[in-house]
Amino acid sequence: MVSSEQRRRQLAREKYERQQKARAEAAAKSKRRNLQVSAAAVAVVLVAGGGLWAGGVFKSDSKSSGTAAAAPTSTTPSSAASPVNVKGCTTPAPGSPNGKQWKTEPAMTIDTNATYTATLNTSCGAVTLQLDAAKAPHTVNSFVFLAGQNFFDHTKCHRLVTQGIYVLQCGDPTGTGTGGPGYKFTDENLSGATYPAGTVAMANSGPNTNGSQFFLVYKDSPLPPNYTPFGKITGGMDVLNNIAAGGENDANQPGDGAPNANVVLNSVTTAKS
């Protein structure tokens, strides 16, 4: 026999569970509506370091700086799950980011008349870049400097946006979207900037807040000209498309979260050619 008190508790528990389910469904519906925003609104979120994660802005460096997100932003989704196996991706090379920090932007050492290339050796395959030193000298100089310091090695690509802006964001030694090299530098090459598939650009948290976070565009993106484009992808688009096909794992914000693939930059090298 079930006592009246037991029955009362059972009914109360069932009511509570119905309420929780209704709230979860309402929240999910609201989030789906929020994803129906215009491309322009989405583009506002690619932030680096302390910016919005879902709105479209990129934030790139420490919570006092920024990245690019939906416009590249840089906050980590609270509900991000552990990475899952994605075909073509392997266990990252052993090692941890060195986390070096500098107070000021590195001195200009590159030859702005030369061509520079970069190779991102990721746990999901190699991606090669051609860097535009002529149009973005400070950006390329910083990238070459950080690569030479092994700053990018063993860092996780912490953000994948599969709706609206189509980017994979990397370059944060903390893997949270809030880290950077300790310095910021000026925007470049923004006049008439567009972000077709194959673009490499900087994430930021506002004007002239570039640090180390950057993003790779794997599908034509409607971002506004707020993120310094400094190169193009010359090889490995299949790697990026495979990572994108694996999806992201933020249940609270579908389409913008940590990649399901455990994408780690095993090493990043640059060369003058």
* Residue 20 domain boundaries: 9-272
Domain count, the chain: 1
> With 70 as the cut, is the pLDDT of residue 89 above it?
yes
Domain assignment of residue 173, yes or no: yes
Domain assignment of residue 66, yes or no: yes
CATH of the domain at 216: 2.40.100.10
Query: Which of 95, 100, 145 has the alpha carbon at shortest distance from 121?
Result: 95
Which residue shows structure tokens 């990721």? 122
Domain assignment of residue 45, yes or no: yes
Name the β-bridge partners of 156.
264
pLDDT band at 36 (very low <50, low <70, confident <90, very high): very low
Query: Which of 139, 223, 216 has the alpha carbon at shortest distance from 181?
Result: 139
DSSP string, 72-106: T--PPPTT-------TT--PPPS--------SSPP
Domain assignment of residue 181, yes or no: yes
Which of the pair, 38 or 187, is modelled with greater confidence?
187
- Kindly compute the dihedral angle of the four CA atoms of residues 64, 66, 69, 70, in this order, to the nearest 10 degrees: 80
Cα–Cα distance measured from residue 32 to residue 52, given in angstroms and rounded to the nearest whole number: 18
Domain assignment of residue 2, yes or no: no
Region of poorest pLDDT, from 31-35, 45-49, 154-158 = 31-35
Domain assignment of residue 254, yes or no: yes
Query: Which of 189, 200, 267, 272 has the alpha carbon at shortest distance from 237?
Result: 200
The two three-digit tokens of residue 206, written as one number: 């506002």
What pLDDT, on a 0 to 100 scale, did the predictor assign at position 85?
A: 77
> Looking at the chain, how many residues does it have?
273
Cα–Cα distance measured from residue 227 to residue 68, given in angstroms and rounded to the nearest whole number: 7
- Judge whether 213 and 202 are in contact, CB under 8 Å: yes
Which of the pair, 40 or 152, is modelled with greater confidence?
152
Please give the DSSP secondary-structure letter assigned to residue 146. Answer: H
Cα–Cα distance measured from residue 211 to residue 160, given in angstroms and rounded to the nearest whole number: 19
Domain assignment of residue 225, yes or no: yes
> With 50 as the cut, is the pLDDT of residue 32 above it?
no
For residue 114, which amino acid is it? Answer: A
Tabulate helix, strand, coil % of the chain (nearest 5).
Answer: 20, 25, 55
For the entire predicted model, the pTM comes to 0.76
What pLDDT, on a 0 to 100 scale, did the predictor assign at position 24?
A: 64
